[in-house]
Amino acid sequence: MQSIKSNAIEPTKYDLRGKPPVRKVLELLPVYGLVVLLVLLIGLFSIILPDTFPTMLNLRSIISDKAIIAILSLAVMIPMVTGKIDLTVGYGIVLWHILAITLQTEMGLPWPVAVVVVILLGAGLGALNGILVEIAQIDSFIATLGTGTVLYAIALWHTGGQQVLGALPDGFYAINGIMLFGLPITGYYVMGLAVILWILFEYTPIGRYLYAIGASERAAALNGIPVRRYVMGAFIASGALSAVAGVILASKLRIGQASVGLEYLLPALVGAFLGSTTIKSGRVNVWGTMVGVAILAVGISGIQQFGGEFYVEPLFDGVTLLIAICIAGYAQRKRRSASAPDIPKPNGQ
């Protein structure tokens, strides 16, 4: 499924050279518009809610609440770079956080071993998705929706619809519970993963190959890029990251239940789609994804502090996703029109 073509349309320094300042601002606004919007939202809520919004307590709350969504958005982003989509991140986290607990409480595994097993299972699921998409040639949306639904069914069967409880070691609780320099440690996980992926995508051949595949699989294959291998690798990385998010969720909740996890799917997709509309417009990118998640976090936090109803968050996520898809579609059309060769008109026209 070609969900997003990886074709950046951000103006280069050569495109902007010699143009008046106003023209430069107008050309850069679509590229960095969401960054500007994020700053404006922070400023607006800080002015309107000076006692609650611009506080360290609120910052900690936002990081704690949205770190898992940020990791899942990065997981979604990886196959999206190749033009595919992975819906199992929202279903997989349901099973992974349950297994992270049951492997310790029912099978007696030490918590580090349980964490490694869960991450390996997540990577294995990603390999299965890659096989279905690249070898069986099933549309990625359908394939990952199918495997995700099966995972959710397994989680329901495993728990019997009941909560999974048990005493867990302090080391496992510390995965989510430690404060470092006054901020939740989960925020540092997110930044660490973002920096690693940024370096991978922007400064290594792997990233260039993945973006080439996202732009055109056929052209990438003709240039000698092993498309199947890299797409499968993208799904494996996505599955492993979703399992990491599941482990963090288990450490945070300290219980496992099949009714928790699916609500992360839509915000994760929104963050990744928003990320394709900023920094490098028309191309899925790491820092754009982080800005997208931050927009959601700041917007929802501010609205909730205004006394927003319980349905505000999913409504905000859904509307933002629609806007992001529209912007991404416009960016793709703009890119195609800009790269299309001029066709000379017949004489007399």
What is the secondary structure of 134-195 as a DSSP string?
A: IIS---HHHHHHHHHHHHHHHHHHHHTTS-B-----HHHHHHHH-EETTEEHHHHHHHHHHH
Q: What is the pLDDT of residue 19?
A: 61
List the beta bridge partners of residue 256: 164
Q: What is the pLDDT of residue 153?
A: 92
Question: Is residue 95's pLDDT more than 70?
Answer: yes
Question: Is residue 118's pLDDT more than 90?
Answer: yes
Residue 208 included in any domain: yes
Q: What is the pLDDT of residue 13?
A: 47
CATH assignment at residue 176: 1.10.3470
Q: What is the mean pLDDT of residues 161-168?
A: 82
- Could you give the 3-state DSSP secondary structure of residue 344? coil
Residue 347 included in any domain: no
Question: Is residue 335's pLDDT more than 70?
Answer: no
- Higher-confidence residue of 14 and 204: namely 204
Residue 4 included in any domain: no
Quick: pLDDT tens for 236-280. 999 999 999 999 999 998 888 888 878 888 888 888 888 777 666
Q: What is the pLDDT of residue 281?
A: 62
Q: What is the pLDDT of residue 12?
A: 46
Residue 183 included in any domain: yes
Pair of tokens at residue 91: 């279903």
The tally of domains found in the chain comes to 1
> What one-letter code names the amino acid at 70?
A
pLDDT bucket at 166, cuts 50 / 70 / 90: confident
Residue 23 included in any domain: no
Residue 163 included in any domain: yes
What CA–CA distance (Å, rounded) separates 278 from 15? 18
Residue 8 included in any domain: no
Residue 343 included in any domain: no
> What one-letter code names the amino acid at 130?
G
Q: What is the pLDDT of residue 3?
A: 43
pLDDT bucket at 337, cuts 50 / 70 / 90: low
Q: What is the mean pLDDT of residues 210-221?
A: 89
Question: Is residue 5's pLDDT more than 70?
Answer: no
Q: Which residues contact 164 (CB under 8 A, 6 or more apart)?
A: 98, 101, 102, 105, 255, 256, 257
Question: Over the range 35-63, which residues count as b (16 or more CB within 10 Å of their CB) and which as e?
Answer: beebeebeeebeeebeeebeeeebbeebb
What CA–CA distance (Å, rounded) separates 206 from 198? 12
Q: Phi-psi region for residue 173, left (φ > 0), alpha (ψ -120 to 50) or beta?
A: alpha
> What one-letter code names the amino acid at 242?
S
For residue 52, the enclosing domain spans 13-18+35-335
Q: What is the mean pLDDT of residues 183-212?
A: 93
What CA–CA distance (Å, rounded) separates 63 from 70? 9
pLDDT bucket at 322, cuts 50 / 70 / 90: confident
Question: Is residue 234's pLDDT more than 90?
Answer: yes
Mean pLDDT of the chain: 83
